[in-house]
């Protein structure tokens, strides 16, 4: 069911949370929160996403607030630390926010940085984790095929678990996967799933070894779970830099997936300098419990977005709800 717009506005709150470290080119994360019969939920497509793309995010938020979650197969989820494209001197401090996670996803291919910067960052992570730690890198589709092959070759000696979205398009992913197969480095698809007209195209093309799945961009727990089942590939459930409320949605998705071979990218509340709850979903011994999150009224007030930004989100909610119901 899709609730009436008035039902969403009855509890809607817009927050702006500062980040501990600049990430994806932003210093704060905005989100619109609302409550339904099942509890609190989140609508937080990034500002640059258009209304059509944002409909899946709203459908996911409504689903989590209004519909019961499918049966859970586990009560806790192993998660990775996420390292922005910071300088080597900052790596240890950022990773310390995540506690003792055994896996780190390292952002690479940052505009204005070089491959040498990426190698140095990953080398520092390997030094901190030791030989048993797991390292995955994420280029967010920034390389062409030749650049990706060169970068993966430069990083392969550091024992990569996989490379996430090295190139932007499905044909490019298929080509780079063939080129680096001899190195034994798997290719993961993220944007080619969550921002694609057909999220299964990358699996059908044999262009990835695993999929990075995010609940909000893929329409919610049931919709995302269906994509995982139909793709037939291992899945890493990840967040979109959500508040703890949005991360809770991702945890519930991860708890419903029959096969969970990899640590999930759901520890990102550690990248926030503030959250909406007194009990944020922060990793403990590399895991997060699967639970609902209720925001603190005091924190909702403290981190309320400006009147201008609140009006912007309310107007966006109206437009996206109109498109979703149409």
DSSP 63-74: HHHHSPPPPPS-
Q: Is residue 181 flagged as an active site residue?
A: no
DSSP code for 306: P
CA distance 26 to 43: 18
**Which of 29, 35, 105, 107 does the annotation list as catalytic?**
107
Q: Helix 51-66 vs helix 244-256: angle between axes, to the nearest 10 degrees?
A: 70
Contacts of residue 102, Cβ cutoff 8 Å, sequence gap at least 6: 78, 129, 132, 133, 134, 263, 286
Q: Are 71 and 256 in contact (CB under 8 A)?
A: yes
**Which of 214, 252, 303, 316 does the annotation list as catalytic?**
214
Q: Is residue 118 a known part of a binding site?
A: no
Q: Is residue 190 a known part of a binding site?
A: yes
Q: Is residue 105 flagged as an active site residue?
A: no
Helix (H) / strand (E) element for 160: namely: strand 160-164
For 91: left if phi > 0, alpha if psi spans -120 to 50, otherwise beta; the answer is: alpha
Q: Are 169 and 192 in contact (CB under 8 A)?
A: yes
Nearest to 124 by CA among 165, 78, 86: 86
Known binding-site positions:
138, 164, 190
Residues known to be catalytic = 107, 214
Known binding-site positions for Mg(2+):
138, 164, 190
């Amino acid at each position: 069911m899709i609730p009436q717009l008035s039902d969403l506005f009855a509890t809607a709150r817009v927050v702006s949370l500062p980040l501990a470290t600049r990430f994806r080119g932003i210093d704060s994360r905005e989100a619109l929160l609302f409550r339904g019969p099942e509890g609190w939920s989140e609508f937080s497509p990034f500002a640059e996403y258009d209304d059509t793309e944002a409909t899946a995010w709203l459908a996911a938020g409504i689903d989590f607030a209004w519909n019961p979650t499918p049966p859970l197969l586990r009560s806790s989820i192993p998660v990775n630390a996420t390292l922005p494209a910071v300088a080597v001197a900052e790596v240890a401090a950022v990773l310390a926010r995540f506690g003792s996670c055994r896996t780190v996803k390292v952002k690479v291919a940052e505009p204005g940085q070089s491959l040498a910067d990426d190698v140095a960052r990953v080398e520092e992570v390997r030094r901190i984790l030791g030989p048993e730690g797991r390292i995955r890198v994420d280029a967010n589709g920034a390389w062409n095929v030749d650049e990706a092959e060169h970068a993966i070759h430069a990083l392969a000696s550091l024992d990569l678990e996989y490379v996430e979205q090295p190139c932007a398009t499905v044909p490019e992913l298929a080509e780079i996967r063939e080129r680096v197969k001899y190195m034994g480095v798997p290719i993961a698809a993220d944007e080619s799933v969550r921002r694609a007209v057909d999220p299964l195209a990358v699996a059908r093309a044999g262009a990835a070894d695993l999929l990075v799945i995010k609940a909000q961009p893929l329409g919610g727990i049931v919709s995302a779970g269906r994509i995982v089942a139909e793709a037939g590939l291992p899945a890493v459930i990840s967040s979109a830099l959500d508040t703890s409320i949005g991360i809770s949605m991702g945890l519930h998705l991860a708890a419903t997936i029959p096969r969970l071979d990899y640590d999930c990218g759901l520890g990102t509340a550690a990248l926030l300098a503030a959250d909406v709850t007194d009990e944020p979903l922060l990793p403990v011994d590399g895991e997060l419990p699967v639970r609902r999150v209720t925001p603190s009224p005091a924190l909702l007030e403290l981190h309320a977005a400006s009147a201008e930004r609140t009006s912007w989100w309310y107007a966006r909610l109206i437009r996206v709800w109109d498109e979703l119901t149409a």
